[in-house]
Amino acid sequence: MSSQAELTFALSPFDYDSAGDCILQSSDGIHFKVIRQFLVTASTVFADMFAVGSVPTNDGSLPIVALTEHSNVLKALLTMLYPTDIPKPSTTDLWQSPDMLSAAPAQMYGLAWRLKMQDEVVIASRYTHKESFENLANVVPLQGLVALMDLKERRHDAIEAFLLQLRAQYNLLCSTHQSNMKEQFLALRRKAQSAFSAPYPQCKDLVSFLGMQIGVDPCSMVQGQLLFRPSCHCFSPIPLNSISQEMATLLSSFPYAVSPPSF
């Protein structure tokens, strides 16, 4: 078995040469040497973690606790809790960093639940819309999963209601594609789902927001590429000003985040 000195460690004060009685392993294979008592005192989450998550050793090496958090998330959290001279990020900095939330949305959401941070749970949930259930289930507590399932249902209902209203009020299809209405509507639904999966969607007009292309049949594909049909005028009759106002109304009330949990 390889020596623990050969593992990939974070920088000081969590490197191999730093004082410590335990090693935390991030999801991307970075190791953090820590003193357990510092973390147990700072957070009950770590007390539970050390109680059930450490891998025992018989050769005198330090126990290793495998975590689901990415090294960027773990480094920021440890720096915040650890007694060190390194400038500490605040919880506001940690959970309001788009880069951090985008890099590890499931981990940041799950961690906020475990730390019982209400505002941070709500913020992080905005970044989970593209995450698979399997990925979320690996790192998010059951209550957090239930909240996301409720959010997913509310988002689906809001998108469906808007698209049905859109189809009822406006002629979205040219004469060429009237016979292909179902496929066109399904294509429009996929575009809407993708557009609303952004943490903070912004819409200047419906065509750009949903990624429509005037003169293009959104259902015609050749090796993954859209076929251009110059004679097609799908979506061209849409009154953009009126639709944009309706979209602004939807955006203002759309369910982007979970409801604030009661801890």
> If you average pLDDT over every residue of the chain, what do you get?
78
What's the pLDDT score for residue 52?
A: 62
Residue 29 has pLDDT above 90, yes or no: yes
The model's pTM is 0.65
Least confident range of 28-42, 144-158, 227-241: 227-241
Q: Per-residue DSSP letters for 56-114?
A: P-SSSPPPEEE-SS-HHHHHHHHHHHS--SSPPPPHHHHHT-HHHHHHSHHHHHHHHHH
Looking at the DSSP bridge assignments, the partners of residue 65 are: 24, 54
Total residue count of the chain as it appears in this document:
263
pLDDT exceeds cutoff 90 at 187: no
Q: Kindly indicate the confidence band of residue 250, based on its pLDDT and cuts at 50, 70 and 90.
A: confident
Structure token pair of residue 169: 């009020």
User: Whole-angstrom Cα distance, residue 81 to residue 244?
Assistant: 46
What pLDDT is attached to residue 184? 66
Min mean pLDDT across 22-31, 32-41, 230-239 is at 230-239
- Quick: pLDDT tens for 138-152: 889 999 999 999 999
Least confident of 36-45, 107-116, 129-138: 36-45
* Cβ atoms < 10 Å from Cβ of 172: 19
pLDDT > 70 fraction of the chain, expressed in percent and rounded: 70
Q: What is the mean pLDDT of residues 7-16?
A: 93
User: Rounded to whole angstroms, how far apart are CA atoms 116 and 48?
Assistant: 14
How far, in Å, are 9, 70, 100, 120, 137 from residue 110 at the CA level?
A: 24, 12, 14, 10, 9
The pLDDT of residue 228: 39
Query: Is the model more confident about 1 or about 57?
Result: 57
List all residues 6 or more positions away from 262 whose beta carbon is below 8 Å from its beta carbon.
none
Residue 226, pLDDT > 50, answer no
Give SS3 for 3: coil
pLDDT, position 221: 44
